[in-house]
Chain A
Amino acid sequence: MSDSEDVLATAAGWRAAGENVAIATVVETWGSSPRPAGSRLAVSASGKLAGSVSGGCIEGAVADAAKQTMASGTPQLLDFGISDERAWEVGLACGGKLKVFVEKLA
């Protein structure tokens, strides 16, 4: 079982238990990103996290976006990078750039 499958199974388990769940997936990277495209982070409404989309530097921001998507049902495409002011805030210290797709697990 690859680690991204493991995350999906964990997310499915949370959903089956009645929690709202969103899944964030790295869809594109440039430069030195710690996690490759396809890496997943699952977030539950109660704040549980499984997996990762970075070395830990953007997980907080992604979790916030995940909660919005859980509420709205609308997917989001997030951009993180050194040219991005928001990324400065969340501190992508590695100097990499990445795009993260966030969707609700319906």
Chain B
Amino acid sequence: MTPELLAALQEAQAKKRPVALLTRLSDGHQLLWPDSAVPAALAEAAAQALQEDAAGNLTLDGEAWFIHPHNPPLRIVIVGAVHIAQALVPIAQAAGYAVTVVDPRRAWATAERFPGITLIHEWTDDAVAALAPDARTAVVTLTHDPKLDDPGLDAALKSDCFYIGALGSRRTHAKRVARLTEMGHSADSIARIHAPVGLNIEAVTAPEIALSIMAEIVAVRRGAALGRRAPAAAAA
């Protein structure tokens, strides 16, 4: 890998720009897509690898190429700068996720409690909407306070995020479903919410709950059966 290519790859990563590294395996010749013009078949393979976030191989004119996607990190938006959030942050970071914490309560969302983490103090609906959750984003609400969690969930349900989780018991969630229905969300839409949040590992402490949440996010992201829930009606 040339210093120029390494610099270009690292710059794309710093700017959170998706790029694919294309390597000709016979001699190590490398190109970065879409920065360099490449044959159509390579461009197509690069776009597909980025879309699927999976490396691939292509033989073009008798030459084997390795297609290596470099997507920006997956994101987790945590609503509620609470104790469980403090436990979730390092676990999420270790799993490769970029973390943002949203909480308008400045006493909770402090740099002292969340060193080095992006903190947003706007109201939760504006904050979550502004973060524009996409298919590579998970949203988790942890305040346990409807006036903070509901607007955050409202914004998350209007987005394409791949995971929505909400802290609270089945009873709490049943009431939440009623409120979100009143806000105009359909049953199908509300069924996107994983609640009670996290895989059922009988978690008790904040780090254990954080671990169960992170495990569920990974299960959903990777399409594991554990990540699928019964419809919300069955949980009520």
Which residues of A approach B to under 8 Å, CB–CB? 1-5, 8-9, 12, 23, 25, 27-28, 36-38, 75, 77, 101, 103-106
Contact B10 A9 (CB under 8 A): yes
A-B contacts, 23 of them at CB < 8 A, read: A1-B73, A1-B98, A2-B73, A4-B70, A5-B13, A12-B6, A12-B10, A23-B1, A25-B66, A27-B57, A37-B55, A37-B66, A37-B68, A38-B55, A75-B27, A75-B28, A101-B28, A103-B28, A104-B1, A105-B1, A106-B1, A106-B2, A106-B3
Contact A77 B6 (CB under 8 A): no
Contact of B1 among A3, A36, A77, A103 (CB under 8 A): A103
Contact of B96 among A3, A77, A105 (CB under 8 A): A3
Main secondary structure of the interface of B (DSSP, over half): mixed
Contacts of B73 in A (CB 8 A): 1-2
Contact B66 A8 (CB under 8 A): no
Contact A37 B27 (CB under 8 A): no
Counting contact residues on chain B (CB < 8 A from A), the size range is 20 to 34
Which residues of B approach A to under 8 Å, CB–CB? 1-3, 6, 9-10, 13, 23, 25, 27-28, 54-57, 66, 68-71, 73, 96, 98
Q: How far is the CA of A66 from the CA of B156 in the complex (A)?
A: 46
Shortest distance from the beta carbon of B136 to any chain A beta carbon, whole Å = 11
Main secondary structure of the interface of A (DSSP, over half): mixed
Shortest distance from the beta carbon of B66 to any chain A beta carbon, whole Å = 4
Q: How far is the CA of A101 from the CA of B3 in the complex (A)?
A: 18
